């Protein structure tokens, strides 16, 4: 059974940092690109970042470029999102998702990031 389990969310002050993790199981993690997608309270889905299966290629939404870093450890079947210089507008539930031919076929349950002083 495919499972994606996010962790690392929590309360952080504006300007602070946080690292999210997404532990994958039930599939060959190293064969799939992965994405982070976020959802602010009461809002829609927003692309955050993507990484290729081997980790060599990454991409970011303009809103997080230069502040967030996506990475993966295929030996540990884990995806990461290092978030820095956090702002109030970064507050959201962050989902990791497996990407298969462009479709997000499996999602984690999400982890909530709250940015507040």
Give me the residues that bind another protein (CB under 8 A), please.
35, 37, 44-47, 50, 59, 61, 95, 99, 101-105, 107-110
* Least separation in angstroms between CB 82 and another protein: 19
Q: Closer to another protein by CB, 23 or 61: give it.
A: 61
Closest Cα to residue 23, out of 76, 68, 99?
76
Ramachandran sector of residue 34 (left: φ over 0; alpha: ψ -120 to 50; beta: rest): beta
Q: Which residue, among 52, 48, 7, 19, has the nearest Cα to 33 in the 3D structure? A: 52
- CA-nearest of 84, 86, 90 to 112 is 90
Nearer to another protein, 48 or 115 (CB): 48
CB of 13 to another protein, least distance (A): 26
Task: Output the CA torsion sign for 12, 15, 82, 57.
Answer: positive
Q: Which of 16, 59, 14, 39 is nearest to 108 (CA)?
A: 39
Closest to another protein by CB, 48 or 83? 48
Minimal distance in Å, beta carbon 104 to another protein?
6
Minimum CB distance to another protein, residue 16 (Å):
25
Q: Looking at beta carbons only, is 32 or 95 nearer to another protein?
A: 95
């Amino acid at each position: 059974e495919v499972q994606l389990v996010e962790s690392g969310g929590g309360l952080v002050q504006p300007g602070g940092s946080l690292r999210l993790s997404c532990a994958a199981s039930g599939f060959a993690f190293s064969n799939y690109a992965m994405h982070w997608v976020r959802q602010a309270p009461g809002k829609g889905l927003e692309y955050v970042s993507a990484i290729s299966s081997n980790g060599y290629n990454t991409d970011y939404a303009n809103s997080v470029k230069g502040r967030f870093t996506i990475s993966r450890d295929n030996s540990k079947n884990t995806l990461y999102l290092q978030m820095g210089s956090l702002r109030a507008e970064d507050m959201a539930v962050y989902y990791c998702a497996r990407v298969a031919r462009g479709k997000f076929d499996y999602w984690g349950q999400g982890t909530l990031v709250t940015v507040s002083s």
